[in-house]
Chains A and B, each alone.
Chain A
Amino acid sequence: MGLTISDKVLTVHAIDRHESDSVLRVGIDALLGHDATISLLIDRFERLGLSIWDPKRVIFTNDHFSPPADAERADISARFLAFSRRLRLNHLLIDKGICHQLLVEHELCQPGSLIVGADSHTIMAGALGVCATGMGSTDILFALATGTTWMRVPETIKITFRGLLPNACNGRDVVLQLLSLLGEHEARYRTLELHDESQSKLLQDERFAISNMAVEMGAKFGIFVPDEITVEYCTKRDGVSPTALTLPDVDARYEREIDVDLTTLRPLVAKPWSPANVTPVDELERTPITTAFLGSCASGRLADIRVAAEIMAGKKVNERVRFVVIPASIEVFKQALKLGYVEVLTEAGAVFNQSSCGPCGGIDKGVLGSQDVCVSTSNRNFRGRMGHWDSATYLASARTVATAALRGYVGEMA
């Protein structure tokens, strides 16, 4: 039997195996961290007198508190930055955007590499054929000091996309469709290996959205089989093409195989309070909203901002709605500026915030109050996550979010 992508990547990175378990010690290629979760390990790292394994292979950014909204978070931010400077990291990216977007914009993020990050959405780099996964602060402390971590080789579920993605849909609708099939748990501990056999091929930005939310199904890795789209993206980014692509064997062993025909896909939303609580948007009853949010690591990329600008051009955001837009990184923001999308959206009444996590984790400007109903491109609509326990969030694509911002409601939107 042949091997899947994660079988191969973990085998190549294995250092040794725990005596009586299926647990491997693996060497990592890169490590990602941000202000919030790294702040939880600083005291322990310094108390143990540890030093960093390789400052050239670590990317840190402040994305949760950028800039900080209150005094405690300002202190956390300052501690994080001081610690990062003491480590003499080569890649300390300050106020440059959301860590997951910065990782995929970085040449450390190569197909076939093994990357860990101090945040669950690290999995997003899988969209470039990377085995990338999120961990907590203690795991990351260990990896930061040793360049190693412990992993089991996961089972793999093969997902094959076929057909042609309708114009009304994007990667968010694709991943919501997967969530409706697999729920919040059926990919638990597993690799989702994503094969794009669709006619037009999914854009790289759509692939990021899909890999990002693989973790909402419980996945450890969400890996697109690298292809010409991957090579084109990496070549444009790095100036050279990737040295090698790790591909699955033709006879790879999969726990399960699922075909998804994109041709019949319709725009979807996830209702409160689960990303797997999915329904077609035109079957949702008309639901008035107070807030629309286009941002987060799940979306907030150029393709998302472009579609919002196209929908909003010459129109106005509904007077009862606050429409917050947060580009996933400063690089995305600069491109959106250059292409005129920022002006179009600002004229329409959208509010741009600094590239950061924003209200997604209930952290920063745009958090929801008890009466707020939000339609959002973020990745989680867990109860209380975006603010008040009684607030409600519907997850959807940038197209659905922008349309709802104009109309003042979500649902009944064919």
Chain B
Amino acid sequence: MKQLSGRAWVFGDDINTDVIHPPQFFSLDPAIVRRGLFNGLDPELQGRLEPGDIVVAGRNFGCGSSRETSIQSLQLNQIGAVVAVDFARIFFRNATNNALPCVNFADPADRKKIHAGQRIELCFDEWTLCTDAGDRVDLDPAGSFVRSVWEAGGLLQLLGTGSST
């Protein structure tokens, strides 16, 4: 994975998993899980998503429940990555385990430079985010363990590989 580009969907601080994916959409049916993304916040939002779109948020994105349906729903809607000031612990693990990149702004103030609907591009070689307005902001490079999980395609690909991962 070298780079991703898509439209930015911008959210605030402390966006919890019940807001990302309301509990009534908990299901084993992918169609239901897919439809639930941000449904309480805006029932129309999910229908307007395009493959590769990127979620941009403030601090503590994904706090709350461990239900992995929130990650499934982001992936079923083909969200390419989440960029935030920081992430709640369980959400970050869940996303990483399913090879959905969660990346932090190097400078939290830079989140203000990203506006809803902009086209943005993430470069994982240089750890930068570029906007179609010409802004270029630094991202925190992911740790080597996290990168190894992304590159493997998720945690389950590491099963049986023991400590060599």
Q: Which residues of A does B touch, CB under 8 Å? A: 15-16, 18-23, 25, 36-37, 39-40, 44, 48, 50, 72, 76, 79, 118-120, 134-139, 141-142, 145-146, 150, 184-185, 188-189, 216, 218, 220, 274, 361-363, 380, 382-385, 389
Q: Which 8 A-B pairs have the closest CB atoms?
A: A136-B94, A138-B97, A384-B40, A185-B60, A362-B23, A389-B40, A382-B18, A385-B18
Give the shortest distance, in Å, between A18 (CB) and chain B (any CB): 5
Report the bound CA distance from A298 to B143 in whole Å. Answer: 34
- Chain A residue at smallest Cβ distance from B43: A389
Q: Are B155 and A139 in contact (CB under 8 A)?
A: yes
Q: Which of B1-47 contact A (CB under 8 A)?
A: 13-14, 16, 18-19, 22-24, 26-29, 40
Give the shortest distance, in Å, between A127 (CB) and chain B (any CB): 19
Contact partner, A21, options B24, B40, B143, Cβ 8 Å = B143
B115 within 8 A of A: no
Report the bound CA distance from A361 to B26 in whole Å. Answer: 10
Q: Are B156 and A36 in contact (CB under 8 A)?
A: no
Report the bound CA distance from A389 to B67 in whole Å. Answer: 19
Q: Are A185 and B14 in contact (CB under 8 A)?
A: yes
Give the shortest distance, in Å, between B154 (CB) and chain A (any CB): 7
Q: Are A48 and B90 in contact (CB under 8 A)?
A: no
Q: Are B90 and A363 in contact (CB under 8 A)?
A: no
Contact A218:B88 (CB < 8 A) given known A15-B163, A146-B159, A362-B23: yes
Q: Are A120 and B59 in contact (CB under 8 A)?
A: no
Contact partner, A218, options B23, B28, B60, B163, Cβ 8 Å = B60
Residues in A whose Cβ lies below 8 Å from that of B158: 142
Residues in A whose Cβ lies below 8 Å from that of B18: 362, 380, 382-385
Contact A50:B63 (CB < 8 A) given known A135-B93, A136-B93: no
Given contacts A36-B67, A135-B94, A384-B22, 9 further A-B contacts (CB under 8 A): A37-B67, A135-B66, A136-B90, A138-B94, A138-B154, A142-B97, A142-B155, A185-B86, A380-B16
Q: Are B23 and A361 in contact (CB under 8 A)?
A: yes
Q: Are B60 and A39 in contact (CB under 8 A)?
A: no
Q: Which of B54-70 contact A (CB under 8 A)?
A: 59-60, 63-69
Q: Are B90 and A138 in contact (CB under 8 A)?
A: no
Question: What are the interface flags for B132-165 relative to A under an 8 Å C-beta threshold, 1 for contact and 0 otherwise?
Answer: 0000000000011100100000111011000101
Q: Are B94 and A48 in contact (CB under 8 A)?
A: no
B71 within 8 A of A: yes
Q: Are A188 and B60 in contact (CB under 8 A)?
A: yes
Contact A20:B60 (CB < 8 A) given known A15-B163, A72-B27, A135-B93: no
Q: Are A138 and B69 in contact (CB under 8 A)?
A: no
Report the bound CA distance from A14 to B163 in whole Å. Answer: 12
Q: Are A138 and B98 in contact (CB under 8 A)?
A: yes
Give the shortest distance, in Å, between A79 (CB) and chain B (any CB): 8
Q: Are A18 and B144 in contact (CB under 8 A)?
A: yes
- Chain B residue at smallest Cβ distance from A142: B155
Residues in A whose Cβ lies below 8 Å from that of B23: 361-363, 384-385
Find the residue from A22, A220, A389 having the highest chain B CB count within 10 A: A389
Q: Are B68 and A138 in contact (CB under 8 A)?
A: yes
Contact A382:B16 (CB < 8 A) given known A16-B163, A184-B60: yes
Q: Are B14 and A139 in contact (CB under 8 A)?
A: no
Give the shortest distance, in Å, between A133 (CB) and chain B (any CB): 8
Q: Are B14 and A120 in contact (CB under 8 A)?
A: no
Contact partner, A134, options B40, B90, B163, Cβ 8 Å = B90
Q: Are B24 and A362 in contact (CB under 8 A)?
A: yes
Q: Are B90 and A120 in contact (CB under 8 A)?
A: yes
25 contacts between A and B (CB under 8 A): A18-B148, A21-B144, A23-B143, A37-B67, A37-B68, A39-B28, A40-B69, A120-B65, A135-B93, A136-B67, A136-B68, A136-B71, A137-B94, A142-B155, A145-B159, A185-B13, A185-B86, A218-B60, A361-B23, A362-B22, A362-B24, A380-B64, A382-B64, A384-B18, A385-B18
